[in-house]
């Protein structure tokens, strides 16, 4: 049996404390196999982004656990978890989150530099990645000098810099017009095909979701899957 690339068991998450606590979800489980391209859909406020943050180790659940390639995140210290995220996880945010004082190339090179690659090699690799995402010649531009579609492609470039085992994308097309949304989604599909890694995409776009290998639908009752090998 193939071991999941991402496995979450009985996740619960709340924000706040006492009477003011807000339960986001409880007892939620999900498996994503190596090489799968999956979508997570559901109504606003059901916890899709929270789930993605837990799966990527950006936040921690109140209960339950997450494993990446069989490694339980809760068993790792802060430094080990950061190292795992840098080596195995890429994350594309809805609002790109590029550092405004860094050029496009410097933003893409950042995870490589964190991973101890020397400046010259990281710069060369960043230029290759920018060309791969359709931004050749734009490496010296600051985020304020780039369009929305260019910013999101640069964010994808940063996310794939370390060739991650799992790429998380949180509404990466949500702020783009139709044409740029199609370009970014096509880029994610192409990168997925080339890398053989897993992609977990949160989206409100049912058309994009329908073109993924599997759809996980979140609701107040939990999460269920359509397509693939098993329901959750």
Residue 42 within a domain: yes
Whichever domain contains 40, its CATH number is 3.40.50.300
Residue 231 within a domain: no
Question: Can you tell me the distance from the alpha carbon of 215 to that of 200, in angstroms, rounded to the nearest whole number?
Answer: 10
Question: Can you tell me the distance from the alpha carbon of 184 to that of 167, in angstroms, rounded to the nearest whole number?
Answer: 14
* Interval 191-213: pLDDT, tens: 898 888 999 999 988 899 999 99
Residue 232 within a domain: no
Residue 132 within a domain: yes
Half-sphere exposure of 17 (CA within 13 A, CB side): 0
pLDDT for 221 beyond 80: no
> Which one, of 14, 15, 12, 40, lies nearest residue 27 by Cα?
12
**pLDDT number for residue 1:** 66
Residue 55 within a domain: yes
Q: Which residues contact 98 (CB under 8 A, 6 or more apart)?
A: 104, 107, 143, 151, 154, 155, 158
* Interval 155-180: pLDDT, tens: 999 999 988 999 999 998 888 889 88
Domain total of the chain = 1
Confidence tier at 226 by pLDDT (50, 70, 90): confident
Print the domain residue range for 161.
6-226
Residue 91 within a domain: yes
Residue 148 within a domain: yes
Q: What is the pTM of this model?
A: 0.89
pLDDT for 183 beyond 50: yes
How crowded is residue 82: how many other Cβ atoms within 10 Å of its Cβ? 13
**pLDDT number for residue 227:** 65
Residue 1 within a domain: no
**pLDDT number for residue 228:** 52
Question: Can you tell me the distance from the alpha carbon of 127 to that of 139, in angstroms, rounded to the nearest whole number?
Answer: 7
């Amino acid at each position: 049996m193939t071991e999941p690339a991402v496995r979450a068991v009985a996740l619960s998450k709340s924000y706040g404390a006492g009477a003011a606590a807000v339960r986001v979800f409880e007892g939620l489980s999900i498996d994503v196999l190596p090489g799968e391209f999956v979508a997570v859909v559901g109504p606003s406020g059901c916890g899709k982004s929270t789930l993605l943050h837990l799966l990527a180790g950006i936040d921690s659940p109140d209960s339950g656990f997450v494993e990446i390639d069989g490694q339980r995140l809760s068993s790792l210290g802060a430094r080990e978890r950061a190292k795992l995220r840098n080596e195995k996880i890429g994350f594309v945010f809805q609002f790109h989150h590029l550092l405004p004082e860094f050029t496009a190339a410097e933003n893409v090179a950042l995870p490589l530099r964190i991973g101890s690659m020397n400046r010259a090699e990281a710069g060369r690799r960043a230029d290759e990645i920018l060309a791969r995402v359709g931004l050749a010649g734009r490496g010296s531009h600051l985020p304020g000098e780039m369009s929305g579609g260019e910013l999101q492609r640069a964010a994808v470039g940063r996310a794939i810099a370390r060739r991650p085992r799992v790429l998380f994308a949180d509404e990466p097309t949500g702020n783009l017009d139709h044409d740029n949304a199609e370009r970014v989604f096509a880029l994610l599909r192409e990168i997925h095909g080339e890398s053989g890694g897993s992609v977990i995409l949160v989206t409100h776009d049912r058309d994009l979701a329908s073109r993924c290998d599997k759809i996980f639908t979140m609701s107040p009752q939990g999460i269920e899957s359509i397509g693939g090998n098993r329901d959750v």
